[in-house]
Amino acid sequence: MSEIRRDRLHSQYVLIAPERMRRPDTLAAALAKATLKTCPFCEGNEAMTPPEIHAIRENEANAINWKVRVVPNLYKAVQIELEDHSKLTGMFESIPGVGAHEIVIDTPSHSSRMADLDTIEIRDWLSTIAMRIA
Domains located in the chain, CATH noted = 3-133 (3.30.428.10)
**What is the per-residue pLDDT for 30?**
60
pLDDT band of residue 75 (cuts 50, 70, 90) is: confident
Q: Could you give the C-alpha distances from 1 to 6, 22, 49, in angstroms and in order?
A: 16, 13, 22
pLDDT digits (tens, 9 = 90+) for 22-48: 776 666 666 566 667 788 888 999 999
What is the maximum span of the chain, computed from C-alpha positions, in angstroms? 54
Is the confidence at residue 129, as pLDDT, over 70?
yes
**What is the per-residue pLDDT for 33?**
62
**What is the per-residue pLDDT for 62?**
83
Mean pLDDT taken over the chain: 84
SS3 state of residue 105: strand
**What is the per-residue pLDDT for 86?**
76
How large is the average pLDDT for residues 81-85? Answer: 68
**What is the per-residue pLDDT for 104?**
96
